[in-house]
Amino acid sequence: MRKKTLRPVRSAILGLVCCLLMGLASSNMAGAQPDRDGLVVVRPLIVPGDSRFSYYEDLLRAAMDATVPSYGAYGWEPWADDEFTKRLAEMLERATYVNVVYSAWDPVLGKVAEPVVPHIRKGVNGYRLLLIRKADRERFAGLQTREDLAKFMAGQGRGWPDVEIYRASDMPVLAIGKFSQLLPMLQSGRFDYYPLGVTEAPKFLRECGVACDDLMIEPTLLIRYPFPIHFHVSKAEPRLHARLTAGVGLLLKSGEFDVIWNRHHKPELEGVTLAGRKVIALENPNLPPDTLLGRSELWIDLETN
């Protein structure tokens, strides 16, 4: 049962920060802890017990290691706690315990943290398959346009950054509950489809097993929108932000970025075939100001790869 409690991490990493930052005004924590003797100390948020997010830790360490010749040694003090949602906003704002997170950008997050450019997951999060009830397969057959799909209700977790993307495109979306509640809500008819990442959808159906025999991945549609994931560094840590920006740039130049990305993502994407699906393209109203949409090497094309 422990493993299931970690499933909401998707929203934690992509949306949790944006939800929690609403409570900044109530912060009463002490000021930021100074780095020891001028040493830059990295305090990343580590997701306990979930290997799916080891990519971020590996990339973060590699970026810091790449800059040792020019920036010097660094400290590594990750914060891992099963109650990591509590007071995360305050800690990020003041750089106590946590000074680096990985997430989609949001205007609220932007008030307390700076994104490291470029983004770090090649946009893979922006490809979504639709989980639907098997009984509704014919209702979705033949849909061609965003306007067609807008006749149906999507379901998403409360506070997920995807919610604003659907709303900005006039797509009805029910933002309700936590991750673990959404599959039962789909089954009971609370909404019509549940968009999930291209690697998440088949994985969660397999894990659900016979309890989800009445659900399926809709076979003809693919939702796509730009959805970059960045390292976000507390604004209280400008030296760390500059260092990570330089480090990620060095990894891209040396090719090590692709080595790390492929090691973590290629196994997940094996067998994922999206060719022939009708693409429903949406705009993302919350892209960071410096999003590098024109850098093709920073975006994976799952429709042709």
- What pLDDT digit, counting tens, does each position of 151-190 carry? 999 999 988 889 999 999 999 999 987 777 899 999 999 9
- What is the per-residue pLDDT for 30? 34
Helix-strand-coil percent breakdown of the chain, rounded to 5? 45, 15, 40
What is the predicted pLDDT for the residue at 17? 46
Q: Are residues 177 and 30 in the same domain?
A: no
- Specify whether 142 is located in the same domain as 217: yes
- Domain tally, the chain: 2
Radius of gyration of the chain (CA): 20
Q: What pLDDT does 3 receive?
A: 38
- Predicted confidence band of residue 61 (pLDDT cuts 50, 70, 90): very high
Amino acid at the residue 171: M
- Asked if pLDDT for residue 31 goes beyond 70, the answer is no
The pLDDT score that the predictor gives to residue 72 is: 94
113 Rama sector, left if φ>0, alpha if ψ -120 to 50, beta otherwise: beta
Same domain for 221 and 163:
yes
Phi then psi dihedrals of residue 248, to 5 deg: -65, -40
Rounded to an integer, the average pLDDT of 15-26 is 36
Examine the pLDDT at 226 and tell me if it is beyond 90: yes
Q: Do 175 and 284 lie in a common domain? A: yes
Mean pLDDT to the nearest integer, 51-66: 90
CA distance 298 to 257: 10
Structural domain that includes position 68: 2-122+227-269
Query: Within this chain, do residues 280 and 263 fall inside the same structural domain, yes or no?
Result: no
**Res 239 pLDDT > 80:** yes
